[in-house]
Structure 1
Amino acid sequence: MASLSNRRRVARELRHHPATRAGGGDVIERRRRLLGRRRRLLPRRRRRRRARGERIQARPRPGPAGLPRPNPGGGNMNEVKEALRTVEQHYKLFLQQQFTFIAALQHTRENAHDMIRPVASIDQVQSYMDHYCNNSTDRRILNMFLSICNDLSKLCHKLEAVHPGNSTTNGILERCKLLLSHSNNLSTIRAKYPHDVVNHLSCDEAKNHYGGVVSLIPIVLDCMKEWLYHTEKLPRHMLHNAN
């Protein structure tokens, strides 16, 4: 069956068709026949073109409210955005349990007799979970933190694969990699407004123990969003070639 655009085109042809201009009692019947013939011919033409190996491309339709749809050639970019949204959803669940996370770190630090130095690296959290975790609740929340960090590391590799990048995007990626390095010292980093993870800690906890480790994920997420912002401003042909 002809699409709406085809019907409009046929109607326009009918208006200018000699049979229509001539008038007479059989004008409507002639219009109906011409429209039916047009509908029968369209599938035949498409079959012939397919037989000749020609590719039939549909016209791009506008998205909601007249906005353009995403570029089909940017599949990799869409995958990156979807992966980032998934990590953000996991982080929101983790964020609701920040007090449980701090309690788990407190328990494992006590078991490790490591109450003086700050929790300053991913390796340190991994060691606490592997060797000094005595209950399932603490293990679950520590594992959740480590899992999100691991997902962010994988996402970094996806970002690299999307396009060759420029000095700005490459610099952002290098910062993400450094922050997510398991041995990197996190004690000096702090998530700032609009993030309030540090505000939920006491002054002593924020300054001397947990301010860095709770700031890691929101800072990396912000960096990745910044990477997306700069990447989408690049010329379209760069993304097309990379994809």
Structure 2
Amino acid sequence: MINTIRVYNDIGTSVLCVHNTIQLFHHFFPCANVFKISSSEIKTNKWIESTDLLVIPGGEDLPYLDKLQIDGIELIKSFVFNGGKFLGICAGAYFSSSYIKFFLTSQLVIEGERYLKFYEGNAIGPVYDGYQPNSESGAHIVKIMYKNTYAYVYYNGGCYFDDNNNKVEGTHFALYEDGKKCGYTRRYGKGKILITGFHFEFDEQCCSHLLSKLSYDDFESRRENLVRYIFSLLSDC
């Protein structure tokens, strides 16, 4: 059961991503308690026993690293290992991987090791052209392939997952239309991890400016089916 959800909210998180993530849980888990949590609160470890799911939403990965640091990261790992659930979306997926390569331009690359290592491979992005920090100029509606079907979702700067020729534990459950891996889940100790390079928390109202070739109903019905599938994977523990 997922009764108490905490959504990371600190320097680097996108206001829109945090808001939409909280709204998503209010819609799909109407009886759950949903709270924001800061880096300083995570470092206290007082949240662990009262939390079922921790979410690291979209934003910018480097400030997450700077604010949480090793002590916060180790508490997150302990939380999941001892039975907690973890969801990382877009920047949260970069942050959850072992190594990232993020190409802002051909001359400007954010690259380096990360320390959660829930996904023991590389998170590489952006997958689609046009990304600009704090801008909608590179936002797209993209097609996600999963479980012999597909959905449309919001995308802005997210990653794909590269196993780097390693035998990685867990399951890649979703692909971008070009075949790159973009949804990953695994068990970690007694807990469960799920990360995505795309945003599934943005509904049709948030995406209305990008839906010129899609009907609202087609976008939303397919997105909601994907969301239900994602939550079924996350709850399977």
**TM-score above 0.5, yes or no:** no
Comparing both structures, which one devotes a greater share of its residues to strand?
2
Instruction: From the CA coordinates, give the structure whose radius of gyration is larger.
Output: 1
Taking structure 1 as the reference length, what is the TM-score of the superposition?
Answer: 0.23
Larger RCO (CA under 8 A, 6+ residues apart): 1
Taking structure 2 as the reference length, what is the TM-score of the superposition?
Answer: 0.23
Comparing both structures, which one devotes a greater share of its residues to helix?
1
